[in-house]
Structure 1
């Protein structure tokens, strides 16, 4: 009876954790926490499911124990791949993007290049205007 109760409890934990994990997708630490919570529920379902199916695995004879272990390991690996890997990769991406990138010339280097480009464009326009004014001025004086 305890096996069934723990299996149902694991299913409820799994569903609740998965729901909150999807709600917090892309938010880093909360998503990681809920994915671990979801994996704990899945683990409880896998372990208790194997205990519930003990009579079936016992009917397989000597290989029953090995098959049971193989099914459990496969479920744990697939569960970790589907639940934990995306959450931890998301955490790594969030952590790496929030860090300030250091350049050899400092962060002003990029801004200085942009400012130089803008100022050089302004100077070119000013030079053209000055030339035009001289040319107009020269025509008037002639």
Structure 2
């Protein structure tokens, strides 16, 4: 039987392996802790003076939406514009939090932090925020033929 290269015998090789495994424990624990932190990340955005609030998770899923009665009473186009604005802010917020978390865990500019940032950006494509009806501009495509842009409530 041949001896592993670089070790004087099997005992030394096993001791080296045991040392490597022991050293991996804290790193694995830190990676698991970071995973749990990331899974709990959310981003929040608001519109219409806080009367509309959206929350998304790190995967870009809408996890919370509040539309105040005052805003709702102004109709679907107003609600649509406000929700889109709040949603975009929430997406930007969760992207920022995810980037900071990854940099804190893996180091600024690290390959892992950059890869995670790219994954979160891919999972949270930014919605186009529409101008509100109260800013004096018209909402493109907000006519009755464009239900995707709002107008129904």
Give your verdict on TM over 0.5.
no
| TM-score normalised according to structure 2 size | 0.35
Q: With structure 1 as the length reference, what TM-score do the two structures score?
A: 0.37
Normalized per residue, the structure richer in strand is 2
